[in-house]
Chains A and B, each alone.
With several copies, the nearest count.
Chain A
Amino acid sequence: MVKLSSRIPLPYSFKVIELFRNPKNLGKMDDATVWALAGSIACGDMIAMYLKIDEETQSILKASFESYGCAANIAAASILTEMVRGKTLEEAWRISWRDVSDALGGLPKVKYHCGILAVGSLRRAIRAYFQDKLKPKWLPENLTAEERHALEEEELAERFSRKS
């Protein structure tokens, strides 16, 4: 038996609305060093994260995103691209979804997953960068919670599509 949905209030912060109106770093990056996708359309949110990486310093020169999702999703992805600019990959890796939520002035509980998905897409991109490179010590073997979340969502979407 499917547990049916019920509504709850979603009073966004003005930061979410601002970034929704004028998203920073929106769009595909043609000269990206690496990029990654997280989430799924069937689940209602998906983020593509593009990173331009300075290979020498292993720091992020610029980041951009694309998003299919709610206003909070767009804002979360956008603010994260701002937050990582100029950071080393290690520093970027350490950004948590809580940091994203805080930067947005607080996400409502049901929108936590937007922050999680944004961080998940970033970490996937960072992992992808190290795909065939020597893995730095700070990069954990196992998936972090945020990455697992993205994976679970994608698996759920698989189930949805099989159903219909």
Chain B
Amino acid sequence: MGSDLNRDVEGLLKAHGVSEREVYLDSENSGLIFPEALKAMVDSYEEAARGHPAITHKLGWESYEKLYESTLKIAQALNCNSEEITYTHNGTEANNLAILGLAEASKSRRKILVSSIEHLSVIFAAEHLQKFGFKVVKVPVDGEGFVDLDFISRNVDKDTLLVSVALVNHEIGTIQDVKAIIDVVKGHDEKIVVHTDACDALGRVKLDLKRLNLDLASFSSHKIYGPKGVGALYIKEGVNVSPIIYGQLSTQHLWPSLENIPAIVGFSKAVELMHLNFESYNSRITRLRDKLIDGLLDIEYTVLNGPKGYKRSPDNVNISFLFCEGEALTVELSLKGIYVSSGSACTSRILEPSHVLQAIGRRHEEAHGSILMKITPFHSDEDVDYVIGSFPDAIRRIRSMSPMKPGGG
């Protein structure tokens, strides 16, 4: 934290005030939690959290049992073996373990393909390996974010270690045809490892790990409304990954230290809820998503980012409002109790807007005006109506302040 920051956040919040209605649409950045998952975590603190699952006494065994049961539930939902799951503390660490841990374990291959719209924890981890002589190739995407299969086909070779493409893109909701990617890659060479960052796919897209023949897949608890502080990496039996953090092992071989069992119990509960309610959540969320998209595209000078329809994640709404700077709009909406985020450069340290929006060919001014929203199982029709009703005024005010106005200004 830089010392130049304003510390009078209380004053800020007072000046901001509280809106009558609040609609939280920013679970891209920080998820809500299922009350059931929170309760499961708290209960487990009270029951079994004292034990260490690798110690031979009653409380150790109890905590081991909790851990094992939770893992089994997750493995069942994903259709994999519980031995294939390694816990980390978030999706970022899972992606790092997948990429850095695979590289650490690899003897010879030195080429990595990642899509140009991956999460930064994939891109930065891969780029870090360039220091050690790895070659990172960015796979281009089309205007809706779908990766160029031909490009992959032309670029995988005997030196290729890994191809990493997220099943669902976190910003524009593109659902990749991961099966086709796997077929292309494995058709060239069975030994090339395929990783998918499934942090945003879990619970939104059917995921059958056994059937897919994936090698590695990353997950994050807070992205499915579980507790913060847990993530997981699926590692198919036989795929070699080395640890990237060192220390005393507990029950896991690839991430040392005591597992955060209460958080894992909560995570498992969230996985279970997403799994059991898959159909009902997603049919509702899809409907609300489309209602919101349609309602907002009625506003002039708007562009949808990402595909429409069934190839779009059921929760993802990402729209660029031209002539409207996204961060200002974020604040304006906040004043109305609507919480969203933007791909504007203003939310970043440098002058570049979202690399995802750039990769699908959005001009900078389009990216600056982008607003990302995620529909959750917690949202109602009334929420969406309120949002649709509130946007036009907000857009109008922000546009009215600008020296560049629609139609030339």
Contacts and interface: CB of A to CB of B under 8 A. Distances in A.
Given A68-B403, A70-B344, A2 B352 contact: yes
Interface in A5-53: 5-18, 20-21, 23, 26, 28, 37, 41-48
A130 interface: no
Contacts of A69: 325, 327-328, 346
Nearest to A68: B402
B54 A7 contact: yes
A44 B378 CA distance: 33
B4 interface: yes
A145 to B, nearest CB: 17
Given A14-B12, A66-B401, A69-B328, A156 B351 contact: yes
A117 to B, nearest CB: 12
A77 B57 CA distance: 21
Contacts of A57: none
Nearest to A19: B15
A86 interface: no
A108 B6 contact: yes
A74 interface: yes
A103 interface: no
A13 B349 CA distance: 19
Contact of A106 (B6, B16, B363): B6
Contacts of B245: none
A139 interface: no
A6 B404 contact: no
Interface in A70-122: 70-71, 73-74, 105-110
A3 interface: yes
Contacts of B347: 5, 7, 10
Contact of A43 (B11, B56, B345, B402): B345
A71 B15 contact: no
A157 to B, nearest CB: 7
Interface residues of A, number: 52
A103 to B, nearest CB: 13
Contacts of A164: 358, 361-364
Contact of B2 (A47, A48, A68, A108): A108
B120 interface: yes
Contacts of A160: 363-364
Given A23-B401, A47-B403, A66-B402, A71 B351 contact: no
A108 B346 CA distance: 12
Interface stretch (B195-203, B214-222, B248-256): B248-256
A68 B325 contact: yes
B5 A66 contact: no
B363 to A, nearest CB: 5
Nearest to A46: B403
Nearest to B127: A1
Contact of A6 (B8, B15, B120): B120
Interface residues of B, number: 62
A67 interface: yes
A6 B5 contact: no
A106 B4 contact: yes
B355 A7 contact: no
B371 to A, nearest CB: 14
Contact of A14 (B15, B127, B323, B346): B15
Contacts of B60: 9
B12 A42 contact: no
Contacts of B65: 11
User: Which of A4, A47, A105 neighbours the largest number of chain B CB atoms within 10 Å of its CB?
Assistant: A4
User: Which of B6, B54, B327, B353 neighbours the largest number of chain A CB atoms within 10 Å of its CB?
Assistant: B6
Contacts of B403: 28, 37, 46-48, 66-68
Interface in B296-325: 323, 325
Contacts of B14: 14
A161 interface: yes
Nearest to B331: A71
A4 B124 contact: yes
Contacts of B251: 8-9
Given A3-B350, A108-B4, 11 more contacts: A4-B352, A6-B348, A7-B52, A8-B349, A9-B1, A21-B335, A41-B404, A44-B368, A66-B401, A66-B403, A70-B56
Q: List 6 tightest A-B contacts by C-beta distance, closest first.
A: A5-B348, A14-B15, A48-B403, A70-B327, A6-B249, A14-B11
22 contacts: A5-B352, A6-B120, A7-B249, A8-B249, A10-B55, A11-B7, A11-B61, A12-B6, A12-B12, A14-B15, A17-B331, A23-B401, A44-B346, A47-B403, A48-B403, A68-B323, A70-B344, A73-B328, A106-B4, A106-B6, A109-B2, A160-B364
